[in-house]
Amino acid sequence: MLSDFLTWCYPWTKTLHILAVISWMAGIFYLPRLFVHHAEKGVEQVHSDEMLQMMELKLLRVIMNPAMIATWIFGIMLALTPGIIDWGAIWPYAKLASVGGLTWFHHWLGKRRRDFANGVNVVSGRTYRMMNEVPTLMLVIIVVAVVVRPF
């Protein structure tokens, strides 16, 4: 039975979820910083542009995409584990909305990477700096919702 399996593997599911989230967040915080350097200085020199594009692509494809997928898979497994979430409370929905926001941001970053690859980036370094605050806000909401459960 699925619920018995999910209950049995709960500690491992939770561990893998946390590891995936840490990996995803590391990339989500780092990629916009690469974009700042790329937007402000990287396009001036061909070597810098090529190096930054390679770093951005590898970060997105090798670390961030698998980590996001793993975060979602293990998060869904946790949500389906009996007794873990009180669906009558508001906090799981606040967390879900914030994770949705992070997923949107992840895809927004992917589109910006493609813009750099196509030589059509129109976003300034300042905008990338400001957008880098979005995941911080989502992270605070998620951690407070899950740990404190204020609502």
Over residues 44-48, the mean pLDDT reads: 78
DSSP string, 89-121: SSHHHHHHHHHHHHHHHHHHHHHHHHHHHTT--
> Is the pLDDT confidence value at 136 over 90?
yes
- Tell me the CATH number for domain 2-148: 1.20.120
User: Quick one: pLDDT band at residue 96, thresholds 50, 70, 90?
Assistant: very high
The helices-and-strands tally (H runs, E runs) of the chain is 7, 0
> Is the pLDDT confidence value at 48 over 90?
no
Cα angle: 94, vertex 32, 50; to 5 degrees: 145
At 9-23, the pLDDT tens digits run: 999 999 999 999 999
Long-range contacts of 55-60 (CB under 8 A, 24+ apart): 56/31, 56/113, 56/116, 57/113, 57/117, 59/27, 59/30, 59/31, 59/34, 60/27, 60/31, 60/109, 60/110, 60/113
Instruction: For the beta carbon of residue 145, count every other beta carbon within 10 angstroms.
Output: 21
Q: What pLDDT is recorded for position 42?
A: 66
pTM over 0.85: yes
